Amino acid sequence: MTISEQLRAAVRDAEKRGITQYRIAKDSGINPSVVLRFVAGGGLQLPTVDVLCETLNLELQPIRKPGG
């Protein structure tokens, strides 16, 4: 799963917990239309990804493969 797919999933998970895309945008300082476009399949610039990840309490982790 790509970083974008994981981030979209995190936004959708937040929505299931009652946190709207609008609230995520406002809490992160990102324009709500940017969040909406991203969740719909658009891209984000890296600084925006950083801010969105920080807002959603996400961090990049290595994948642990068995035997390696």
Burial of 51 (0-12, 13-18, 19+ CB in 10 A): middle
What pTM was computed for the model? 0.83
Domain contains 15 = yes
Residue by residue, pLDDT tens for the chain (68 residues) are 889 999 999 999 999 999 999 999 999 999 999 999 999 999 999 999 999 999 999 998 888 888 75
- Asked if the structure places residue 12 within a domain, the reply is yes
- Is residue 62 situated within a structural domain? no
pLDDT for 60 equals 85
Is the residue at 61 inside a domain? no
User: Per the domain annotation, does 67 fall within a domain?
Assistant: no
Q: Which domain holds residue 48?
A: 3-55
**39 contacts 11 by C-beta, under 8 angstroms:** yes
Structural domain count of the chain? 1
